[in-house]
Amino acid sequence: MDRWIGFGRSLVVYNNPISRRAWRLFYEDLLSPGDVAFDIGAHVGTRARAMRAVGARVVAVEPQDPFTRYLRRTLPKDIEVVAAAVGGRAGEREMAVSHRHPTVSSLQTEFVSQASSSPGFEKVQWNDSQSVQVVTMDELIARYGRPDYVKIDVEGFESDVLDGMSEPVALLSTEYLPGFASLTHQVIDRLVALGDYFFNPVSGETGRFLWPEWRDSHATREWLDSLTADGRSGDLFARCGDR
């Protein structure tokens, strides 16, 4: 029963017309028809649908049941659904699952072990596990082509996803959680090692950049460290070679 309660909550919170419209309008300025976009951690497909609506060729990657089955039934047929997680090495891993809060199911052990005592996670319990296949970004690129944009939302596992990518991509975004700033610092470390990246955050599901200009890694780290642990999460966008 808990699994279906959590599944229903995800549909209500994330797959709603307001969120889809906000992200569609946002992606209109970032993506062009025919661009390749990867949705890593697709969940209920809100972003995948928004990216497809502006003409992108979308690959939606999601390891968690029952969401992979839902995506295959409900996404446009030309969106490729990959039932896997993405990480630094291909293989098989155990994912910690929260049935009532499936959006925070994670492969990141540090995140899971610390989250229950962090603001916003007090009522979350990781009460199950699921064995999932793991592929790398390099494998996805070899299969589907180099993406123009990659969205990554994998509950603390973002830097592990980037460990499996050997060359920079033009644009990507990763979730940031103010209570886990160290994990986002790891993401920034990995990105600046790959290329000349500049950054701009989007708070929550607003579909709007916080800053009028893109900032370098130093300024972005200062902003990240200024956030309170109970602050609003969001997406940190990174653009390679273009302020």
Of residues 97 and 221, more confidence is placed in 221
Q: pLDDT-based confidence at 128, cuts 50/70/90? A: confident
User: Is the pLDDT at 118 greater than 90, yes or no?
Assistant: no
Q: What are the sequence ranges of the domains in the chain?
A: 2-240
Distance of CA 27 to the CA centre of its chain: 15
Distance of CA 206 to the CA centre of its chain: 15
Does the pTM of the predicted model rise above 0.85?
yes
For residue 206, the model assigns a pLDDT of 85
Q: What is the DSSP letter of 198?
A: E
For residue 190, the model assigns a pLDDT of 97
The CA distance from 114 to 64, in Å, is 21
For residue 10, the model assigns a pLDDT of 61
The CA distance from 240 to 243, in Å, is 8
For residue 202, the model assigns a pLDDT of 96
Mean pLDDT value across the chain: 88
- The superfamily CATH assigns to domain 2-240 is Vaccinia Virus protein VP39 (3.40.50.150)
Give Cα separations from 35 to 38, 85, 130, 162 (angstroms).
Answer: 10, 22, 33, 20
Which among 214, 172, 219, 215 is positioned nearest to 191, based on CA atoms?
172
Q: Which tens digit of pLDDT belongs to each residue from 148-184? A: 999 999 887 899 999 999 999 999 999 998 988 999 9
For residue 149, the model assigns a pLDDT of 98
> Tokens 């291909």 belong to which residue?
90
Burial group, residue 223, by CB count within 10 angstroms (0-12, 13-18, 19+): middle
User: Is the pLDDT at 2 greater than 60, yes or no?
Assistant: no
Q: Which tens digit of pLDDT belongs to each residue from 26-55? A: 999 999 999 999 999 999 899 999 999 999
Give Cα separations from 28 to 144, 200, 236 (angstroms).
Answer: 22, 17, 18
SS3 content of the chain, % helix, strand, coil (to 5): 40, 25, 40
Mean of pLDDT values over 92-119: 73
**36 strand-pairing partners:** 57
User: Is the pLDDT at 205 greater than 90, yes or no?
Assistant: no
